[in-house]
Structure 1
Amino acid sequence: MPRPPRSNPKTRTHAIELRKELTPAERKLWANIRNDKLGINFRRQHAIGNFIPDFVCIEKKLIVELDGSQHLEQVEYDTERTKYFETLGYKVIRFWNNQIMNDINGVIKVIQFALESEDPKR
């Protein structure tokens, strides 16, 4: 039996468009995690269900979200997204854009720690 699609065509198309329009913070983080730089593969703007997380490591079930000022006004939406991802077994970590721009080394350390940490629920 074929595997069900992970998302719908509309969401996948939107993800493709988002990949073309990275924010400065997304661009900076991507430069530090792409091409297995952390020893593991990340995807950017990868559609999962009706949502498109900023970065995802499928193998380790880790999602990295970057938040700008607009996220101050969409806390409920972000909470809903996080809960959905967690129901699929993903761990979600969030960073503010200014953290990426001002302390990329600290952010990378947090991501590396999350990759090394095993979730006791899995």
Structure 2
Amino acid sequence: MTTEQRHFARRLRTQATEPEDIVWGLLRNRRLDGLKFRRQVPLLGYTVDFLCVERRLIVEIDGRQHAFERDYDAARTREIERHGFTLLRFSNAQVCDERDAVVAAIRQATS
């Protein structure tokens, strides 16, 4: 991991979106089944939103711009999954409107 990647991840942590803050509030301090999640983590040349190393689970929160980046996101997901991680994606709207369903999906992926 380069210094540039660390600085980028740190900047993302300080400029979190509302949906990212919501998810972080649900995951931080081992609030979800005692699992340790980290946020804005450099991994394989990418910066992932939330990472549980113990379960090799990544949670991504996608804003509107991701509708225009589908090919990039699909390639990124394949690359990450090829290294043995599971990647879950949720839209901003899902996080804001269906919080319980998001938590249930994350919980299911960790079991």
Could you tell me the TM-score, scaled by structure 1's length? 0.87
Unaligned runs of at least 5 residues, structure 1: 1-6, 117-122
2:50 counterpart residue number = 55
In the aligned structure 1, how far is the partner of 2:102 from the partner of 2:22? 11
CA RMSD of aligned residues (A): 0.8
1:77, distance to aligned residue in structure 2 (A):
1.1
Greater helix share, structure number: 2
In the aligned structure 2, how far is the partner of 1:88 from the partner of 1:17? 26
* Residue 95 (str. 1) matches residue 90 (str. 2): yes
- Equivalent of 1:76 in 71, 87, 95: 71
Greater strand share, structure number: 2
Unaligned runs of at least 5 residues, structure 2: none
User: What is the CA deviation profile of residues 55-77 of structure 1, one whole-angstrom value per residue up to 9, with x for unaligned ones?
Assistant: 01011000000111100100111
**Percent of matched pairs sharing the same residue:** 36
1:103, distance to aligned residue in structure 2 (A):
1.2
Confirm or deny: 8 A CA contact 1:25 1:101 kept in the other structure.
yes
